[in-house]
Amino acid sequence: MLKQTLLEAIQAGGVELKKFFNNEFTISHKDGVNNLVTEADHAAEAAIISAIKKNFPDHQVLAEETGQHINDSNYKWIIDPIDGTVNFAHGIPLCSVAIAIEKDGEIIMSSIYAPVLNELYFAEKGQGAFLNDKKISVSEETSVLKACLVTGFPYTYINMSNGPIEVFGRLVKKGIPVRRLGSACIDLCWVACGRFDGFYEHKLEPWDSAAGYLIVEEAGGKVTDHEGKKFSIYQHRIIATNGKIHDELLKWVRDEF
């Protein structure tokens, strides 16, 4: 029932995303330049929560737009109704719906759906990761210098030493290709299926990373914070790789060369 509900919920969100995509909708702004929220975000989130509550009314929910729905349950559904909202608002198809299920503090199941690309990702703890029902795995690249990487930049630049622009500059000055797609969920999925060899970012929220985190790990990859410690979705910094370049990429991000 858990998996069935997850897939029903992700499809419900995808229906709303696709319905509004390249059509007219209202747009408002959150903190930061170009940090958008659209009518479609709210519609997708409502459809997702409705699908979940139909079967699991007592489960907790953490959703990007409506926040925390607290109940007395050890299950929590973590929802990003549209990841890549700026892409979505500009008619760029790199946008997705993401849902993760946390039980007792551990992500046990997740799905990311990019309906315009017709890509549905699914992972369950200990059972592998899948794209459109076909098992996926990370790449075999062993060198950062030969890798294809992906990153993102926060809407509000964090005033810190060795921030996202510095790390990006350090990599591209060595000729390492670093892409910026505008959707952390798709970034993580594309690491999981071997299109990218690694991903790093300085400021993600739980709904940005929870679903993709499990998908990468179940595809054979590795996910940590920027110190190389066990990743938690409740802190901002992430490095996700095929595992083979992980320690080297950590050094690049931390400026230890």
Question: Regarding beta strands 134-135 and 149-151, do their DSSP bridges make them parallel or antiparallel, or are they unpaired?
Answer: unpaired
Q: What is the average pLDDT score of the chain?
A: 93
User: What length does the chain have?
Assistant: 257
Asked whether residue 118 falls in the same domain as residue 166, the answer is no
Asked whether residue 70 falls in the same domain as residue 175, the answer is no
In the sheet with 149-151, reading across from the earlier edge strand, the strands are 178-179, 149-151, 198-201, 238-241, 222-224
Asked whether residue 7 falls in the same domain as residue 124, the answer is yes
Question: Regarding beta strands 75-83 and 106-114, do their DSSP bridges make them parallel or antiparallel, or are they unpaired?
Answer: unpaired
Structural domains of the chain, count? 2
Residue 60 confidence (pLDDT): 95
* pLDDT tens-digit series, residues 138-195: 999 999 999 999 999 987 776 778 899 999 999 999 999 999 999 999 999 999 999 9
In the chain, what are the helix, strand and coil shares in percent, each to the nearest 5?
Answer: 35, 25, 40
Give the bridge partners for 178, in sequence order.
149
Asked whether residue 60 falls in the same domain as residue 160, the answer is no
In percent, the amount of the chain with pLDDT more than 70 equals 95
| Domain hosting residue 164, numbered range | 144-254
Q: What is the CATH number of the domain that holds 158?
A: 3.40.190.80
- pTM score, whole prediction: 0.94
* pLDDT tens-digit series, residues 71-103: 889 999 999 999 998 999 899 999 999 999 999
Q: What is the CATH number of the domain that holds 28?
A: 3.30.540.10
Rounded to whole angstroms, the Cα distance separating 49 from 97 reads 13
For 102-117, what is the HEC assignment? EECCEEEEEEEEECCC
